[in-house]
Amino acid sequence: MPHQTIDRRRFLQLSAGGAAALLLAATEVRAEKIKTRARIVIAGAGAAGLTVAARLAARLDGARITLIDARKEHYYQPGFTLIAAGVKPANYVVSTTAEYVPHGVELVRERVAEFDPEGNKVVTADGKSHAYDFLVVATGLKLDYAAIEGMDEKLIGSNGLGSIYHSPAGALATWRLLSEFADRGGTAVFLRPATEMKCAGAPLKYTFITEDYLTRRGNRGKAEIIYNAHNNALFSVPIVSEKVRMLFEERGIAVNYNRVLRAIDPGRRIATFAAPGGDVELGYDFINVIPPMRAPDAVRNSPLPWQSGEFAADGWVEVDRGNLRHARFANVYAVGDVAGVPKGKTAASVKWQAPVVVDHLVADISGVPTRSLYDGYTSCPLITRLGRAMLVEFDYRNNLRPSFPGVIAPLEELWVSWVMKTMALKPTYISMLRGRA
């Protein structure tokens, strides 16, 4: 039976139903709060830290919950690609951390400089020590631009050098470069790092967006688009990788496999890639640089990271992939980008990870066990052209996990998935930060 696409009226009806479901979830009768004097420190007040704080505050009565982060601004990072696509303004992603801190949770505006899990404390940059009974590591990750020889973050937005991950300003500067490139053509170079990274679909999205702008402005024939994959695939889920390969072939996007950006010469506009046969230089008129991503230095230099295996080199926290509890320190959990698990560096992952961590932490306090587990669910609204996207959802085993089976086919380019990415996801994200989604 052929797949039936959804029309606009039906989608709006479903959206209304989804909103009602969210409201119901927010107003349902909750179990009585658990009384406790536990000291809980949450290191990091990004999406993961705020979500965990909100959920803990709703479940516990009397706990001392301390959220530690020096950042004043909060960034809706899934929106960076939309800024760099010219779809949203830079302020679309900017709010403040303070507005999401739950009542009764203390916000310490400092950076965690040291983790001491043996001593059950963290030390902030001002030298103050914060003791805990339970620790949730939610620091996010570090964009390691310095690992690319010749890279200077100050040059983003000039000499054809873009980088959508850097900041809202960097995403906007990258959009201006893309728009200029789409008006004249030339060679565009795209890539992803060999490390784990947040939203691994973003490099592919931006490649598709660039191709679409060139086509819309009548300059596709004047441009060469080259995507450099860090290994022998375009996406970690084989069926999605093959779909992207087919779309790239259809749209004349060249692919190089097993190439990792090693150095860049912004003045000469040359990117150097490490490849199995030796270094390869590519000239460019426009490039989207995505740096290696690693755990923040304070985490990497602590006892918390994996000691061996694929997650050790970059400092990801050693946790059980199911309950996100630390393998060696039973009162420590990790949520979000910093967690050393095979999948899960997206906001959608946080939405599913945070309840699991809170369930287990509350179980530790109450003595009532829980069977709550995180199965690796993550989501990538993979934009394939302006106005179209594929809603790709999957788990640890690379199984596709569609949220709307029979309505939204995960490997079809649909306007519905585009609307979800550009309109529906941010309100859901805000609800998540407040512990209601």
As annotated, the active-site residues are 199, 380
Q: Which long-range contacts (CB under 8 A, 24 or more apart) does 322-326 make?
A: 322/356, 322/373, 322/374, 322/375, 323/356, 323/357, 323/360, 323/372, 323/373, 323/374, 324/353, 324/356, 324/357, 324/360, 324/374, 325/360, 326/117
Closest CA to 282 of 255, 244, 251: 255
Angle at which helix 8-27 crosses helix 425-433, to 10 degrees, equals: 0
- Alpha carbon of 248 to those of 20, 60, 99, 152, 386: distances in Å? 39, 50, 42, 30, 15
Burial of 207 (C-beta count, 10 Å sphere; 0-12/13-18/19+): buried
Residue located via tokens 């560096």: 345
* Residue 78 identity: P
Give residue 399's identity as a one-letter amino acid code. Answer: N
Q: How far is CA 242 from CA 33, 238, 255, 386, 411, in A?
A: 48, 6, 13, 21, 10
Distances (CA, A) of 321 to 104, 127, 325, 341, 396: 30, 33, 8, 6, 9
CB–CB of 424/79 below 8 Å? no
> Are the C-beta atoms of residues 204 and 380 closer than 8 Å to each other?
no
Token pair 């859901």 in the structure block, residue: 428
Element (DSSP H or E) covering residue 207 = helix 202-216
**Distance between alpha carbon 278 and the CA centroid of its chain, in Å?**
31
Kind and range of the H or E run holding 135 = strand 134-137
The CA distance from 373 to 325, in Å, is: 11
Name the residue with tokens 């306007």: 415
